[in-house]
Amino acid sequence: MRTRQMNKRKRIAEATDQLPDEIWTKILETGIEKSILNHTDLSSFSICCKHFNSLSNDNTLWSSLLTLVFPHDPDGRNITDELLLESKKLVYKYRLERHQRNTIDWARRALEGFRIRSNSVSRRVRRCRRLLTEEKGGIQTRSKTARYDKVHEELDSIENENGTIKKEITKKLAYYKKKYGPCI
């Protein structure tokens, strides 16, 4: 079994050596330009062997990926010049992490806004119900009873809508926790 794996690895290594580096680089560049390959694919490619690792660390590949994924992000913002000269891969990693942090912060603010709105609606509904209950004892005509019933129905509708908002908050929170981990 071990000999078979060794032979397979040897055949793969021989096959990869038959193509020149320029062709491998062109394959990777085309994959990036056509949005077939992303940073995860390049990283996976790099762990195949030392040869692929050196190919995948090419600055032109990461520069192409940078301009595709972060087209409006000017070079050098919050990054030292040494880092820019050293490796476009590190620049990409930095910008990706910054983008993920910004997305997490945005999600937190959005969810907090939903919570605040939902809690506010809940308080108003409780206050209105309390006022209605207090006034119910003084109702003596049919028109007032009809108005009371109508307002009661409206409050039920608002509570149902608020329940829907709370469910949406729970769904979004679960989605963001799954995507970004427990930091939300």
Residue 62 buriedness (CB in 10 A; 0-12 / 13-18 / 19+): buried
Ranking 5-14, 42-51, 87-96 by mean pLDDT, the lowest is 5-14
Q: What is the pLDDT of residues 85-102, one digit of tens each?
A: 577 888 888 888 888 888
On whether the CB atoms of residues 39 and 96 are closer than 8 A, the answer is yes
Q: What is the pLDDT of residues 114-142, one digit of tens each?
A: 888 888 888 888 887 777 777 666 656 66
Ranking 33-37, 74-78, 128-132 by mean pLDDT, the lowest is 74-78
**Helices 39-46 and 21-33: angle between axes, nearest 10 degrees:** 160
Measuring CA to CA, which residue among 92, 104, 75, 91 is closest to residue 38? 92
